[in-house]
Structures are given as structure tokens and as C-alpha cells.
Amino acid sequence: MVFGIASAPAIWQRKMDEILADIPFTQCLLDDMLITGRTDQEHKQNVELVLQRLQDQGLKVNLTKCKFMVPKLEFCGHLVDAEGIHTVEDKVDALVKAPAPTSVHQLRSYLGLLNYYNKFLPDLAHTLFPLHKLLEKHSRWDWSAKCQHAFESSKRKLLASRMLVHYDLQKPLTLACDASPYGLGAVLSHILPDGSEKPVAFASRSLTKTESNYSQIDKEALALIWAIRKFHLYLYGREFTILTDHKPLLQIFSPDKGISQTTAARLQRYALFLGAYSYRIQYRSHDDNANADAMSHLTELPLESTPSVKSCRYTTSHLLTSREIAAHTVKDTLLTNVLTFIRDGWPATVSQEHEPYYRKRMELFVKDNCVLWGDRVVIPKTLQRHILDLLHTGHPGTTRMKQKARGYVWWPNIDADITAYVNACVGCAQTARDPPRGCIQPWTWPTVPWFRLHLDFAGPIRGQTFLIIIDAHSKWPEVIPVTQLTTKATVAILLHLFASFGYPREIVTDNGAQFTSQEFQSFVTVHNIKHKLTAPYHPATNGQAERFVQTFKNYFKASVAVTSQRSISPQQLDSFLFTYRTTPHATTGTTPAELMLGRQPWTAFDMLRPQTVHEHVLQSQEKMVKSKESPVFATHQDVWTRSYGSANSRWLPATVAESLGPKMYRVRLEDGSITRRHVDQLRSRLRVPEPLTSPTLQGPVSTSNASEDIWNGVWVDSETLDSSPVGICDSGSEVPPDPSVPSLTPPVDLSSNPTASNTPPAGGRPQRHRRPPDRLLLQERIRDFRRSSRRAQKDVDDDLAPQFSSED
């Protein structure tokens, strides 16, 4: 292998592991190899296998560095024999004779070598706690008596270190765990056939700043979980016994009992983690659990009493007397002039700095070289800060400080100085109450539903958590039970909801992890939704969702007093939502359902109104009636009927046989078959008139098969063609009526078809103005008939006239 490659050790180690992978009782660390066996014969076989494997790979060993068939051997800084693993005496002597460190670098070197033997030293983390504090960032080097004690204790532990037995799959295994205010400890042990307990390994570590704030039960549980993770390779896949001196853990982590739903979330996660192992948990008292429990019972060194500078300052401050004030008054130039003015008299005019004293000159006097204003001592400039410190003892507010000062001391602008002092106090600022709330800025009311949504999680409520969604326009709520408070689950719920109502334009949420994650931000970006976050620790920004959560909780708190149910049923949730959605909202003045759906849902209260249901049905039916009346067909009327079996013709000729109702008829087809048809499936059919024959003098001309035809837009019988109509002439000229010829317009009988008067029946197609058809030269034939009638008039017998009169 080429020298100088940074990954060369790892490459070599992987190669050696591959070569010796299937050879039992063999360990290799880089170029150091350890070969063992339960018997001499087995040991020789293992050595032969290793040498043969090395020869096959082209590798050689240095015979001068090899030792064969020895009862014990130093390997990787440990002394290994048939009984177990021991510390190496030379390395222990080097640690025991090491002097006390004088710098952080020397301390790190000492702890690094000591930690190499930590599996031999129980409670090492607790013992070295003062030394670890020196290694913290920004920690000042101070080798105190407590550090020296920890240094010496670590040496004594190393000298008294015990042998560690070899790990054996056939022997019972125990794991003892315990926690102290500063660290965790664990001992992995084998139970030998004689009943004695021998350690396989020790482990310990210090608690972090966060873990040190845990409750005792959480610390004990943490020690148990940490120890199992530490010795995972020894414990996974086999049975072992957990020993603890904290009895509540037996109930919580017992493998035969399920964990309660009311257990803290952290302990529930621990219980799920333990479910992957096969274990029994037992209680062991403090005395019997000495290996792991010693750290909890070691006597702490008394804390060094370091004098507090701040306490000394306060102590000397209370020794301030009138003599000190008088001494500082004499040294103060301004007050010296005031003393002189009081004794010798005030001048007519004074400087600006003397003006405050000049206004009170009639009330100022001197006593023992101290200037007094009534009962209040005038404080020199040099002592004013000292007096403010005294007045602020106990951190009173501005008002209380002023009231106290007005009974003892004074100087110009003392009130302003007190106010500035209190405002600058760091302690008061850090513990001050919240400032007055600012003016409420309401959200802009959207003009359309589902424009802006307010989201929040509510719960746990009776062991359940709900996702609350409020529409800002209609106040329409959606409440969805959730089992996982993750972004993935939240997005899935929103997508299901958006499938019904569409995507909103804006979403307002708090700063929960579900809403601030990168996954949720990608979701709103992809769907072009503007995401607005509330200010941290200011839920009022999302007040619409928060207010509904309060209403939601109050409803079920009130219902639990009546129903005594432990959980919220789907029926209860649906009932609450229906009531809320159909009740007028205080903000909008109308129901959320009406603004969201555009209508007011039907409720049980609508049943209280008389005839409400009947009127509602009638109104609905009236809306279904078309404004245009359906056509009416008479019996024996020629119609077109809709054909559904013919591919060539959509309409077939037929005759109305019978009326079955206002909208239903029975019609007869040309082949004689009878079928039922709706009025929408029928159209009026006009029959083409037959050709007229030449008139004779024996009587009026008539057509065979009298039927209704359209003549010049007027419905008449075919018998009217027997006489000449009046007022029709050729080429637009009008032939004067002949008084000898009676009128040919017979009376129309409207009894059979009232709608047939002057108006043709409605057909299947919309009516429109059309050019009248030629009707097969009907007018030409009528004109011929009239001419022939006039020519034959002279030859007509007198009996013909009564015949015409009877027809009128």
C-alpha cells in the first residue's frame, strides 16, 4: 500500500476483517492480532487457519514479534487472560504518579488516558465532574480544592479497579443503572454459576445542562435508556435483567403491562424504545445497587465561600452617616457656597446652578455642616449615586422610591434622577410586567369565502387533538381529529379539504413546527398560497382560530358534566359543527353556512313553522314549471312522434288516439301499432290537401276525407272549398263579391279544441314567421272555380239557393 494516504488505516482494517472474517476466536486491530481458543487443540487449529489464510493472501508475519501459547497477553493497552481483562500496570503507574495539571492542555491529556480505562471505573463521570467544568467554554482556570479532590479520587479508583470478565452468551446478563444530579452510571455484569456477580463493563457520563433540569424519574429513565444504547451489541437479541433502585420505573416499563396514556410523552417514547428488547426489570435497593448507585450517595465537598463584592458594597452603604455627608458637603464647591449664603445672607442675584437653592432659601438651614431643607438632608453630588443605590434596595418602583426619598434626602432634580435610575436598572427591566397592549389591528375582512384561512391545533381535549380551520369571511369552521402532529399529516388533511372548497389565497398559522418546516413552506409555495405567521408568544394575532378553540373547548367541558364521556365521539363533533354553522355569528350577523354556501341549511327549528314544508315543496315545484305552456293535441289529430328505433328517421307520422293526461298521449302509428308518448315527444303534422276536381252544376265541390287544412293562415274544414271565398282575386286584384253567392265561411266549432281558434297548435319547433306556401296552386284553382260558378249561375235552378242557405 502506498504511504501517505489518509484512509490507509481504514482500508487495511477492512482488508484484514475480510481475510479473518470466518475464523473463530480471532481479533485483529490493524497490525495487532489476537488468537485464542477454549482448549489447546482448538487454539492450535485457529493459529493454523490464520497463518494459512495470510499465506494465501501473500502476507507475512514477523516471528520475533509473535508469542504462542502464552496464558496472558497485553493487547491494545489491556492485559487479557483466561479470567478476563485487566488494566496494564505500567500505564496505571504513569497515571497515578502524574502531577496535578497546571493548564487545560495538561488536563485534557490526563483525562484522555484515564477515559481509556473508563470501563474499569464505576462512577467516573461523577468523580470527574469538577474537572470537566474546567474544560467548558469560557470557563476560567481555577484549580480549587474540589478539583484536587476529584483528581486524587480518580487515581484511587484506578488503583482499585477490578477485573472485567469475558462476555459469555451462555451466562445470565444484568444491567444496573442509576442517575445522580450530575451524571449517569451503568454496570453490565454476568451472574456466575456460584451466584456471584462479576462486571463485564462499566459506563458513565455527565448530564448536559438540559438533562440536569429533568425530574428524578426522568433522570432514572434516561440512565436506563442510555445504558441500553451504550451496550446495545451485548443486549440486543438476548434476554437480560434491568436493575434499578427507582420503583416507579417497574410499573412504567414493565414488559407485562401496557403504559398508561396519561404517562409523560418522554416516558412513552422510552417505553416504545424498550419494546425492541427482551428484558425483565427488577427493583434493587440502594445498598445492593452500590455499583451503579454510588454516584448518588457520594458526599459532596462543601462549596468554597467566596465573598461577594456586591454584598460588601451594600454592607458599607448602610454605614453612611451624617458625618460622612458633612465631610462630602464641605468638599462640594456648590454646597460650600450655599453654606456661606445661609450663614452670611443671600445675594440679590445668583448663578443658574444656585437657583434651585435660592428658591428655597427661606427653608434651608445648617446643622453640623449639613444643609437641610426641612427634615430632608441635602446630598452632595458625590453621594447622590450612593443614595440612589440605598433607595433602590429591594428594587422598588419609581413611585415608592420617590415617596421614601421625600422623607430623608433632597437635591435638585431628584425626581428625574430616580426615574432615570429605575429605567436603567437591568434587574427591573428583566422582570418587569408586560407593557400595555397596543391598539388592536383587526384583520381585513375578505369579500369572498375561502380567501383567508386561520389554522391552529386544539388539544389535547379528552386525549384527542384536533386541527382547527376557520374561514375569515364566513367564520365557517372545519374540525379534523388528528393522530400525528407532523407536517406530512397536516398537508394531507389540507389537500383533502381543498379538494372540496379549492385553494385559499392566504393561510394564517402560529409558529408550530408543523407550519414552519421546509416541507410546509414548499407546499404553500407550490399552490401559490401566501403564508402568514403570527408573532412568537402572541396568539392574539391568530385570534380567529384561538377564539374558536376556546369555544370548542368550553362546549365539551360543559357537555362532560352532563354526559360524563371520556372521549369526543364523531356524533358529538358533527352536532357541534352543525349548531355552530347554522347559528348567526356575532361578527357577521348571519350564519357561517349562509355566507359559505349561499343558503341557510334546513334545521329542526324550521319544522316549527306551520305549512312550512308544504309551501317549500310547492315553491320548488313552481320553479320547475316552464313559463311557456305545453301544446295540447286533440283526438284524431295528425302528429309527428319521436322515433327511437329507426336509424333513418327521427320522427314518424302518427295520429293521436287518446289523451292519457295533461302531458301523456296514446298515438297510433301508420303500421297500426299504438304507443305512449310524452308531449315533448310529439309535434303537429300538417297533411297536404288532395287536388281539386272541376266543379259541376249538381252541387258544391268537395274533397274526399274531410280534414283540417291551413288556408291562408286560417284553420278551416275542407268543405269550405266547395264555395268561392270572398275577397280573393287573381294577381292581387280583388273580384267584387257576388251577392247571389252565399258566404263560404262556415262557423268553427271550438268545443273540441279550444286552443285551435285563430292560432295553430304549438309544434315541436319554435314558431316563426314564414312565407305562406303555394299550396299546389290552390288559389289558381279557386279563381277557376269562381269563374265557372259565375257562368253557371244563370242556369242554376231556383232550388239551388235554399241549399246554400241551409249550409250557412
* Superfamily of domain covering 162-298: Ribonuclease H-like superfamily/Ribonuclease H (3.30.420.10)
pLDDT at 75 over 80: no
pLDDT at 705 over 50: no
In the block, which residue shows the cell 457656597? 337
How do the domains of the chain map onto residue ranges? Answer: 8-69, 162-298, 312-430, 452-597, 638-684, 708-807
Indicate the pairing of strand 477-482 with strand 78-81.
unpaired
Q: How does pLDDT run across 144-185, given as a tens digit for each residue?
A: 888 877 777 776 666 555 567 777 888 888 888 888 887 888
Beta bridge partners of 72: 81
- Cα 713 from Cα 759, distance rounded (Å): 9
pLDDT at 581 over 70: yes
Q: Which of 164-173, 335-344, 494-503, 519-528 has the lowest mean pLDDT?
A: 164-173
Categorize the per-residue pLDDT at 668 as very low, low, confident or very high, splitting at 50, 70 and 90.
very high
For residues 161, 163, 166, 171, the Cα torsion angle rounded to the nearest 10 degrees is -100
- Cα 802 from Cα 804, distance rounded (Å): 5
Instruction: Tell me what pLDDT residue 563 has.
Output: 61
Whether the bond into 460 is cis, omega within 30 of 0: yes
Q: Which of 12-21, 102-111, 364-373, 608-617 has the lowest mean pLDDT?
A: 608-617
- Cα 456 from Cα 511, distance rounded (Å): 10
pLDDT at 309 over 50: no
Instruction: Tell me what pLDDT residue 146 has.
Output: 80
Instruction: Tell me what pLDDT residue 648 has.
Output: 72
Instruction: Tell me what pLDDT residue 778 has.
Output: 60
Q: Which amino acid is at 520?
A: F
pLDDT at 243 over 80: yes
Instruction: Tell me what pLDDT residue 666 has.
Output: 92
The count of residues in the chain is: 808
**Percent residues over pLDDT 70 in the chain:** 69
Instruction: Tell me what pLDDT residue 656 has.
Output: 94
User: Nearest 5°: phi and psi at 236?
Assistant: -70, 130
Q: Which string of DSSP letters, residue by residue, matches 150-195?
A: HHHHHHHHHHTPPPEEPP-TTS-EEEEEEE-SSEEEEEEEEE-TTS
* CB contact burial 388-402 (16+ within 10 A = b; e otherwise): bebbbeeeeebeebb
**Percent residues over pLDDT 90 in the chain:** 4
Categorize the per-residue pLDDT at 96 as very low, low, confident or very high, splitting at 50, 70 and 90.
low
- Three-point CA angle 541, 543, 547, nearest 5°: 160
- Cα 78 from Cα 117, distance rounded (Å): 9
7 grid coordinates: 484512509
797 grid coordinates: 235552378
3-state secondary structure of 620: helix
Instruction: Tell me what pLDDT residue 726 has.
Output: 41
CATH code for the structural domain at 452-597: 3.30.420.10
Q: Which amino acid is at 71?
A: P
Instruction: Tell me what pLDDT residue 665 has.
Output: 92
Phi-psi category of 428—alpha, beta or left, where left has phi over 0 and alpha has psi -120 to 50?
Answer: alpha
pLDDT at 207 over 90: no
- Cα 686 from Cα 709, distance rounded (Å): 7
- Cα 369 from Cα 365, distance rounded (Å): 10
Q: How does pLDDT run across 584-596, given as a tens digit for each residue?
A: 888 888 888 888 8
Categorize the per-residue pLDDT at 604 as very low, low, confident or very high, splitting at 50, 70 and 90.
confident
- Cα 39 from Cα 41, distance rounded (Å): 5
For residues 441, 447, 450, 452, the Cα torsion angle rounded to the nearest 10 degrees is -20
The pLDDT of 503-526, averaged and rounded, is: 88
Categorize the per-residue pLDDT at 322 as very low, low, confident or very high, splitting at 50, 70 and 90.
confident
| Angle between helix 89-96 and helix 145-159 axes, rounded to 10 deg | 160
Categorize the per-residue pLDDT at 297 as very low, low, confident or very high, splitting at 50, 70 and 90.
very low
pLDDT at 724 over 60: no
pLDDT at 81 over 60: yes
Query: In the CATH hierarchy, which top-level class contains the domain 638-684?
Result: mainly beta
Helix (H) or strand (E) holding 269: helix 265-274
Question: Which residue would you say has higher pLDDT here, 660 or 128?
Answer: 660
Query: How much is the mean pLDDT over the chain?
Result: 74
The pLDDT of 260-284, averaged and rounded, is: 84
- Cα 448 from Cα 596, distance rounded (Å): 9
Q: Do the beta carbons of residue 718 and residue 775 sit within 8 Å? A: no
pLDDT at 744 over 60: no
Instruction: Tell me what pLDDT residue 286 has.
Output: 59
Listed ranges 135-139, 350-354, 765-769; the one with the highest mean pLDDT: 350-354
Categorize the per-residue pLDDT at 327 as very low, low, confident or very high, splitting at 50, 70 and 90.
confident
Question: Which residue would you say has higher pLDDT here, 241 or 724?
Answer: 241
Question: Which residue would you say has higher pLDDT here, 694 or 331?
Answer: 331
Listed ranges 88-102, 127-141, 245-259; the one with the highest mean pLDDT: 245-259
- Cα 619 from Cα 611, distance rounded (Å): 12
**Distance between start and end Cα atoms, the chain:** 135
Burial status of residue 631 (CB atoms within 10 A of its CB: 0-12, 13-18, 19 or more): middle
525 grid coordinates: 409555495
Phi-psi category of 475—alpha, beta or left, where left has phi over 0 and alpha has psi -120 to 50?
Answer: left
312-430: CATH architecture: Orthogonal Bundle (1.10)
Q: Shortest CA distance to 727 belongs to which of 802, 778, 786? A: 786
Q: How does pLDDT run across 419-471, given as a tens digit for each residue?
A: 999 888 887 877 776 666 555 667 778 888 889 899 888 877 777 888 888 89
pLDDT at 775 over 90: no
Q: Shortest CA distance to 384 belongs to which of 420, 430, 339? A: 420
Categorize the per-residue pLDDT at 271 as very low, low, confident or very high, splitting at 50, 70 and 90.
confident
- Cα 340 from Cα 492, distance rounded (Å): 87
Question: Which residue would you say has higher pLDDT here, 616 or 383?
Answer: 383
- Cα 718 from Cα 782, distance rounded (Å): 13
- Identical topology for domains 162-298 and 452-597: yes
Q: Do the beta carbons of residue 128 and residue 108 sit within 8 Å? A: no
650 grid coordinates: 327521427
The DSSP secondary-structure symbol of 3 reads: T
Q: Which of 170-174, 286-290, 375-379, 551-555 has the lowest mean pLDDT?
A: 286-290
Q: Shortest CA distance to 682 belongs to which of 701, 694, 667, 698? A: 667
Categorize the per-residue pLDDT at 732 as very low, low, confident or very high, splitting at 50, 70 and 90.
very low
Q: Which string of DSSP letters, residue by residue, matches 362-425?
A: TTEEEETTEEEETTEEEPPGGGHHHHHHHHTTT---HHHHHHHHTTTEE-TTHHHHHHHHHHH-
pLDDT at 213 over 80: yes
Q: Do the beta carbons of residue 367 and residue 342 sit within 8 Å? A: no
3-state secondary structure of 1: coil
pLDDT at 303 over 50: no
Cα of 438 vs its chain's centroid, Å: 29
Instruction: Tell me what pLDDT residue 788 has.
Output: 65
- Reduce the secondary structure of 300-353 to three states and give it as a string: CCCCCCCCCHHHHHHHHHCCCCHHHHHHHHHHCHHHHHHHHHHHHCCCCCCCHH
Helix (H) or strand (E) holding 568: none
Q: Which of 82-91, 100-109, 363-372, 419-428 has the lowest mean pLDDT?
A: 82-91
